[in-house]
Amino acid sequence: MIEIHDDVRIDGRPLSHSRVARTDGQRREMVHYDGGVVPPGAVFLHSEFPGSFDSRYFGPLPMDGILGLAQEVWTYAP
């Protein structure tokens, strides 16, 4: 069971680095996923990067849409 409030909790346990943003970089309100059970054939995607637009906001995705594992090539942080 996925619960989303200020952070993400899976079966009642907090997921590290899962703080949920209230606004985006332009101060627009961010609407988060309501939570629930991840259905069979779906995945809940999460990145530790605070600015990631992942399943915290749009919910689970079908596994058949996964093409491979993304790997970091280059990181720039001003």
Q: What was the pLDDT predicted at 40?
A: 96
Q: What was the pLDDT predicted at 48?
A: 86
Residue 54, Cβ density class (10 Å: 0-12 exposed, 13-18 middle, ≥19 buried): middle
Q: What was the pLDDT predicted at 14?
A: 94
Output the pTM of the full model: 0.75
3 state SS of 10: strand
What is the full per-residue pLDDT of the chain (78 aa) written as tens digits?
999 999 999 999 999 999 999 998 899 998 999 999 999 999 999 988 888 889 999 999 999 988 888 788 887 776
